[in-house]
Chain A
Amino acid sequence: MIKISLFAFLSGLILVSCQPEKTDVNEVGGRIHLKFSHLVNEESLVTDSLCYVNEAGNPYLINDVMYFISDVYLYSSEGEILHIDQQKIIHYVDIHYDETLVWKVFDPIPEAVYDSISFVFGLSEERNISFMFVNPPEVNMFWPTVLGGGYHYMMINGKWKNEQLDIVPFDFHLGIGQIYSGNTTNTDSITGFAQNYFEVTLPLQNFEIKEGDTTTIEIAMNIDSWFRTPHIWDFNYWGGAIMQNQEAMNTAKENGFDVFEIVKIY
């Protein structure tokens, strides 16, 4: 009996584990990538160079551009609405992180002709929750709780040459605004908050999704538009920091209506 047992045991020793096998189990449909590019005066953004002048005549340069878009919808020509939400709803864009410049959308896209795309610039009130991001770079968009909480919708950091010809920094930041009592920005005098996110809708022309195909939609942010229409933005008037100036942020928000455009679909 011992010999039989030994034989059985030693036979077991030489058993080898099965090799792992991988199988694709993704749902069928087409795929889209959203590519983000950044333009100034219809040319690709050049950072850290004082080579731009806005409509108010302020020479300026851009160091950083970071922002969120969220709640992307696709609208088909047959009236169907598709919410991109299977894996993520919020996408962070940062010119310093190449991987953020293309959102490879997880959701399979049903075959159809789509005539427009929309998204929220920034974060809607229900999505803008403090401490929901814990890692860089997104965590660095944090907006202090005392100022309304959640996260910056956008940070454009740069410098401009002021009236004294000094080159001074500006933080063109958008987030939740504060309503203060009186002419102070002391946080103790905050009486309410204002949401500054807005929705962007862009037309798609001849855009058809086919099963198995991956289509890239390139969305450009025209940075100069933030300073042009409908309000001419003068850094010398608004100053370098606006996150505690709701009037300035509201002006920037209104200037955002034509900042985005679709430049290419391929």
Chain B
Amino acid sequence: MNRYLWLFIIGFCFIIQKSEAQIVNDTIELSGVEIQADRLQLKSISRLDSRTIQSIPVPDLGLLLREVPGMNGIRKGGTAIDPVLRGFRFSQVNVLANQGIKIEGGCPNRMDPTLAHFEADDVEEISIIKGPYTLRYGPVLGGLIQLNTFQPEPLKSFRIHGSLHTSAGLNPAGFGQYARIFGGSDKIYFTLSGSYKNYGNYQDGRSNEVKSSFIKHHFTSGVGFKPARNHEILLSLSRYNGQDVRFPALPMDEIISQTSVYAVRYRWERISDIIGYLDVNLHSGVVYHEMDNRFRPNYTSVVPPYTGIMQAVAKVDAMSSGARVETGFRINDAILISGIDFQRTWKNGERLVKMIMVMNGQETTSTNKTNLWKQSVVSNTGGFSEFTFHYQHYDIKASARIDINHGASQDTLSLISNEITYFKNDHATQINLSANAGLIKRFSNGNSVGFFLGRGVRSPDLTERYIKFLIVGYDNFDYLGNPQLKPEINYQADLNILLNSFRAGKVLIDGFAALVDDYISGVIIPESVAQPRSMGAAGVKQFSNTGRAYLYGYELSWNSVSYSGLSFRASMAQTIGIHAKTTRNIIENGQITGVEEVRNDPLLEIPPFETRVQVQYSFLKERCKAAMDTRWVASQKNVSIAFNEKETPGFMLLNFSLLYYIKQNIRLSTGVNNVLDNYYYEHLNRRIVGSSVRMYEPGRNFYININIDF
């Protein structure tokens, strides 16, 4: 007990040292997230179950993931929070569903990151694997977020079940309705679900309206059948729609988003004593994304200092297709899983800009059409093997994969200046090797220590390779892709320690250190080479390999046992990121007058230290659970000099929640987030477009969720 107490004291010393008040009051946020990180495996893994997912104030997976230690999100609007895992972001984090379904969003600004293409209520479980330690589902650099959605399941006799979920909140004001029916027999079975969500703008802690409204709806259908014993075929079709999704931190809003996901799975189990199963998956995701600035003042009127009306619309088609074959072998205590996979991502999109001016008394309209991606494609073919072996008190795991990655585009842009080639549409083929190994030693009482080493390699994505002149990064620069980019390579080590006590509960400590070679980041290119094409862009940056970066940090969590219904949870997490060497332009009077080299520059968008403490009380024979959740977030002063990143003050939040099982199949979860109506923003929240003001988080929010299963 004493050692746990000691660990806690250390943790709170950190809090006292690093927390600083952000503006005024303290905060409240309600969090009902259960993190099942107690199943220590050969990797750092956190899990969120469906009941947790269905208890959140606004059904958005990105918002939910911010509750997990080591995870944060980039907020640009009221929904579609883009996950950041230990400082790894965008394509550095692999997000997929079920057995490798990967959907690439259509928006270059990531209005629709992969998570936005799945309905939160359809998700049965989320697994977060930190580090490059799972290579079965494609190349992984910083981590893997895996969504397991509800799939059709066989029933012993014909039955039909269902579930309803109604959610409503006051800030943002809105509601969501979800319904699912599922059933069938042992031969044929199905699931059908649909949802509708309509949320308005939210208000921050000072009652300022943040234009963040959105409408989303979806349906999913799935059918499974067993043509023979141990053989199963699953077919599914999903359609997700977004409409008028507002993003105040981006130059445009999402007007239409349409995603169709098709998946087929065949599984043959118990093939022989040695061959455990064969799993074959095919999937395709088709995305249409349209965004424009119709909700912005410039669209309909002249806004000084402009002297004309500026209208912009961008339309993108994206298609992700993949196939995967996996088989598992078991020999005594050893398990070998091997397979091959293929993923192809294609994008095509253009932007139309209109400038309407009145000159000499007559109105003129000038238009300009440019492509964002032109038939750009990245394909990845890989083979993998994962070996697990148990020997006495040791678990050993090792895996490896090889990928052949190919990128191509129909771009005609050629950018060569002063004998330097900035953009030339060369095809690129890369061969990437990833591998990892881990050892875990189990002690009595469930204690264990694990140590893992991994090398994860990822080739650049379509945006990094081929995007043309759009503000897609942290800063107000247009970004230009780079077909000549090399892959990023992450060498990472993790140390896990699990301490288990019948009296004190469980403590999990996870420390990590990562060295990333050929780190991909934006580098300013001269105005004489390329000028920005997006309204508000300060210049042009090009994705480049910028040398070496280091990330290290830890997560620590404690789950107490229940003391007469009273239980405690606490967690803390910190990541530090350093860019070994980068460059920064010296700007005087708005003009670039020189360049300086910056060594040991903090990496961009690294979340600050934070800790959470939750006190929960169960009563009425555990039918009712009341929880108070506090979250302390330290100020972030380690900010990137090269990106002119701004420091963020610390803040504290307080949330209350109540979960009540009215009946075994009817549950009500309600609560208040940000009880103190604090005025605060997360370090990763983007700026409101056209200003230096960051997007503030919602103020006090009352919400309610009702779930009925039948």
**Which residues of A pack against B, CB within 8 Å?**
1-2, 5-6, 8-10, 12-13, 15, 17-26, 85-90, 98-99, 102-104, 106, 130-137, 139-140, 142, 144-147, 149, 171, 187, 241, 243-244
Contact = CB atoms under 8 A, between A and B. Distances in A.
A23 B592 contact: no
Given A86-B526, A139-B306, A104 B593 contact: yes
B433 interface: no
Contacts of A15: 552, 576
A106 B586 CA distance: 10
Given A18-B578, A21-B598, A145-B367, A12 B589 contact: no
Contacts of B509: 6, 9
B357 A144 contact: yes
Nearest to B601: A20
Interface string B584-607: 100011111111111111100000
A244 B360 contact: yes
Contacts of A18: 578, 600
Contacts of A139: 306, 308, 535
Contacts of A131: 353, 355, 366, 368, 533
Q: Most chain-B CB neighbours within 10 Å: which of A8, A98, A104?
A: A104
Interface residues of B, number: 60
A128 to B, nearest CB: 12
Interface stretch (B175-183, B213-221, B374-382, B441-449): B441-449
A134 B599 contact: no
A85 B418 contact: yes
A144 B366 contact: yes
Given A99-B591, A134-B532, A22 B552 contact: no
Contacts of A134: 531-537
Contact of B600 (A21, A87, A132): A21
A106 B443 CA distance: 64
Contact of B578 (A17, A23, A133): A17
Given A17-B600, A20-B598, A149-B366, A144 B359 contact: yes
Interface in B291-307: 305-307
Contacts of A243: 359-360
A67 B614 CA distance: 63
A19 B576 CA distance: 12
Given A13-B554, A89-B528, A136 B305 contact: yes
B499 interface: yes
Given A1-B449, A99-B590, A243-B360, A86 B598 contact: no
A132 B589 CA distance: 21
A56 B28 CA distance: 74
B499 A20 contact: no
B599 A140 contact: no
A85 B308 CA distance: 30
Contacts of A87: 526-528, 592
A110 to B, nearest CB: 15
B364 interface: yes
Contacts of A13: 10, 511, 554
Contacts of B497: 2, 5-6, 9
Nearest to A97: B590
Interface in B359-418: 359-360, 364, 366-368, 417-418
B594 A2 contact: no
B114 interface: no
Nearest to A102: B589
B532 A86 contact: no
A4 B528 CA distance: 57
Contacts of B511: 9, 12-13
B638 interface: yes
B506 to A, nearest CB: 14
A18 B532 CA distance: 34
Nearest to A242: B360
B589 to A, nearest CB: 4
B364 A24 contact: no
B593 A142 contact: no
Nearest to B449: A5
List of 6 A-B pairs having minimum Cβ-Cβ separation, nearest first: A144-B364, A145-B366, A99-B589, A136-B305, A18-B600, A88-B527
B537 A88 contact: no
A24 B583 CA distance: 10
A211 to B, nearest CB: 15
B495 interface: yes
A88 B443 contact: no
A144 B533 CA distance: 17
Contacts of A98: 589
Contact of B596 (A25, A89, A103, A130): A25
B325 interface: no
A26 B588 CA distance: 15
A17 B603 CA distance: 11
Nearest to B535: A134
B536 A86 contact: no
A5 B556 CA distance: 14
B264 interface: no
B641 interface: yes
